[in-house]
Amino acid sequence: MKILVPIKRVIDYAIKIRVDPTKGPHAVQTANVKMSMNPFCEIAVEEAIRLKEAHKNKGDEIVAVSIGPKQCSETIRTALAMGADRGIHIETKGDVRGDYVDLQPWGIAKLLKGVVEKEENVDLVLCGKQSIDSDCGQTGPLLAGFLNAPQATFAAKVTKEDDGSFIVDRETDAGTETIKLLPSDAPAVITCDLRLNTPRYPTMPNIMKAKKKPVQTISLEDMVSELGLDLDEVLKPKNQVVEVYEPPPRKEGEFVESVDELLSKLKEKGVVG
Amino acid sequence: MHCLSRLLKPCWYTKCRLTSSAATRQYSTRSFSHASSTEMLLENHNEPRLPVTMFTEDEQMARSAARQWANDILKPVVREMDNDSKTHTPIIEDLFKNGFMGMEIPEEYDGSGMNFTSAILVVEELSRVDPSVSIMVDIHNTLTNNAVRFWGSDALKAKWLPRLATDCVSSFALSETGSGTDAFAMKTIATPSSDGSYYTLNGEKLWISSSREAGVMLVFANVDPSLKHRGITAFMVDASSEGVSVGKPEKKLGLRASSTCPVVFDNVKVDAMDILGEVGLGYKYCINILNEGRIGIAAQQIGIAKGCFDVVMPYLLDRKQFGTKLADFQGMEHQYAQLATEIHAAEVMTYNAARMKENGLPFVKEASMVKLFASQVAEKTASISIEWLGGVGFTQDLLAEKFFRDCKVGSIYEGTSNIQLQTIAKRIKEEYE
């Protein structure tokens, strides 16, 4: 089984985002800010490893793919340290932003489609349901569309059947839904949600072993021409970021003395009819 | 009789002077991975130098992994372990599983195969959350593991390194009731058998960290007291050996979750193959290894100081009095700015000392300096943090009071501050003579 796991380098989830409104679409400060693997991507890597382990490691291969600047090599190394076997780093120039400003899901999905086809025999693409910077949640579904692939989003549980199909429990607003992705020529595309698993910590020995695992580094331009794509189509945003601003500061609440007063206040504010 | 020999014996640190230059030379060549490190350093003297606060990818990953684990897994149980005066077994198992216990042990022995700086960073990050756990990791890595790697025979290394990397906690059994700073005044005896194939250990060690959890102890004993310190030999003693009994843990001010116990050796038989290095060279190994152990302690102390800031700064930025955040009062600004500066100085010194060691440069003076200074900064930071927090700082609601209790031993173990001062003074005099 060959599993492709696209991973994204984003601002660390614990960091407080700083916005400089004078910088237009580039308002979110990324310089000297701690970056890490997108938490949902971590979950995807973990799930890939668990599937491989459940399959008793019958020559399964997990390939981590990342599109981004030089420092993405660290993100790939983390995936390798967790247990991925191989990495592909499509390197962008330092000023190309991945947080929706420059690279957007359409372009990413086009690239990933190319990678899947170039890799051959990919059985499954596991990705995070969304990235925590752009929060689009589109790359997985777009990729499935480009590949003509069976897809399941917001996976809370994934099982592989012997016939090559995948059983996925999906978390929806109405509850949990179980669907079966039938085997097809294209790999199944599954996006991972929070409750799917708890990612493992890379151990020290595995961090060192990760250094020996092969990583192919190729510039975005070279990859685009290799895949026969149009660089403009990949890089030019389909959507334009108009404005970036911080949410308004939370206002102080009011204390009320009684339920009646609460109701009248709510009516006043137009919250209740 | 024995009192007389104690009087005749000069203080152990002056022995350092007689032996340390030889030891340093021996040490320097031993720690070179290949003979030309100094030449390489000199050749590269035109290349741009990175600050010591910048680390390799390996080192950064080690640090992040330690920080993440400490915050997610260790932090929730810190208070409980302190109250119970016991480190939880799952925590110890996790330390091994994550590779924190075999940082520098090579891959071929199931270790993590990383460098000294990585070990130091792990100790610092763990200390930031719980110094009791970090001392177990520090002693294990910088004292036991490294001593075995440096001076152990191939057979000894093959026997112990995999265990030290994967499941066996170690203790460093040097001190006794009558010998702390005056370590060479130890009374534990190792009597050789008639054919020399084994030794019988008799004696009692005191203040031994992690002894309750230890699977192995690096024990220093004298094979021939008439040779004075030149009889001291280092033995790797399996803690489950017949005759080894670990006494009740001391009730301590701080580092409570770290077990500190007396250990009695009653006719304990130790195979000659479990001798570390050569008979009679134990005193040299002990002095040498404690040098790098000092950098480890400095890392622990820096971690404590930073841990205090982790508790205090969010509080100062949140709490208001007279409509102003505590962090915005100029008096407070001046105080925490001053301390942050001192912590920075301590960390830079410590990272630099680690790099000096890695590059095979002599670092005895620097190791003493960093331990001395870092422990001073930690104590100062921990104490004043409680004041900055006000009343709640004095309660167990926050970890500040624990850091205050934990940091005090920093100026005592692995060489008291007075000893560090003497070591530094001696080196300074040598430089000017």
pLDDT in tens, A232-248: 888 888 888 888 888 88
pLDDT tens, residue by residue, A185-209? 999 999 999 999 999 989 999 999 9
CA A7 to each of CA A95, B171, B400: distance values in angstroms, whole numbers, following the listed order? 19, 43, 39
8 A C-beta contact, residue A190 and residue A141: no
In the three-class reduction of DSSP (H, G, I as helix; E, B as strand; rest coil), residue B114 is classed as coil
Tokens read off for B147: 């001593």
The structure tokens listed for B46 are 């035109």
ipTM of this complex: 0.81
Inter-chain contact A74–B61, Cβ cutoff 8 Å?
A: yes
Q: Across the interface, do A208 and B98 touch by the CB < 8 Å criterion?
A: no
The residues with which A228 forms a beta bridge, in sequence order, are none
A211 touches chain B (CB under 8 A): yes
- What does the pLDDT read at residue A103? 87
Q: Flag if B103 and A204 touch (Cβ within 8 Å).
A: yes
pLDDT (0 to 100) of residue B10: 38
Q: What's the pTM? A: 0.86
Q: Can you tell me the mean pLDDT for A69-88?
A: 95
Judging contacts by C-beta atoms under 8 Å, the chain A residues touching residue B114 are: 204, 207-208
| Contact assignment for A203 to B65 by CB distance below 8 Å | yes
Contact status of A215 with chain B (Cβ, < 8 Å) = no
> What does the pLDDT look like over A152-172, one tens digit per residue?
999 999 999 988 899 999 988
Q: Which residues of B touch A78 (CB under 8 A)?
A: 61
pLDDT at B43: 62
Mutate to test the interface with A, among B57, B67, B108, B164 (most CBs of A within 10 A): B57
Ramachandran area for residue A154 (φ above 0: left; ψ -120 to 50: alpha; else beta): left
- Cβ contact, residue pair A203, B68, below 8 Å: no
Q: Of the listed B93, B342, B414, B433, which one is catalytic?
A: B414
Query: pLDDT of A89-145, one tens digit each?
Result: 999 987 788 777 788 999 999 999 999 999 989 999 999 999 999 899 999 999 999
pLDDT in the model for residue B38: 52
Element spanning B341, H or E: helix B330-358
Q: Do B107 and A205 touch (CB under 8 A)?
A: yes
Mutate to test the interface with B, among A207, A209, A215 (most CBs of B within 10 A): A207
Q: What is the pLDDT of residue A168?
A: 97
Q: Which residues of B touch A201 (CB under 8 A)?
A: 65, 68-69, 98
Question: Which pLDDT score, from 0 to 100, does residue A241 have?
Answer: 84
Catalogue the E-assigned strands of B78-120. none
**For this structure, is B414 an active site residue?**
yes
- Residue A125 C-alpha, separation from nearest chain B C-alpha, in angstroms: 27
pLDDT at position B40: 56
Nearest CA in chain B to A79: B61
C-alpha to C-alpha distance for B96 and A160, rounded to whole angstroms? 32
Using a CB–CB cutoff of 8 Å, tell me whether A137 touches chain B: no
pLDDT tier for residue A34 given thresholds of 50, 70 and 90? confident
What is d(CA B350, CA B367) in angstroms, rounded to the nearest whole number? 8
Give the residue carrying structure tokens 């580094």.
Answer: A217
Q: Do B57 and A81 touch (CB under 8 A)?
A: no
pLDDT score at B86: 97
Of the candidates A77, A81, A208, the beta carbon closest to that of B114 is on: A208
Interface touch B112/A74, C-beta < 8 Å? no
- Close Cβ partners of B139 (under 8 Å, ≥ 6 residues apart): B170, B171, B172, B209, B210, B293, B296
Whether residues A204 and B110 touch (CB distance < 8 A) is answered with no
Chain mean pLDDT for chain A: 91
Give me the pLDDT at residue B236, please. 98
Interface A–B counts its CB contacts (< 8 A) at: 51
pLDDT less than 50: residues of chain B:
1-37
Q: Which residue of B has its CA nearest to A74?
A: B57
Which two tokens mark B308?
A: 């205090």
pLDDT digits (tens, 9 = 90+) for A62-74: 999 999 999 999 9
Choose among B57, B60, B97: nearest Cβ to A203. B97
Q: Which of A140, A162, A137, A97 is nearest to A5 (CA)?
A: A140
Q: Are B388 and B316 in contact (CB under 8 A)?
A: yes
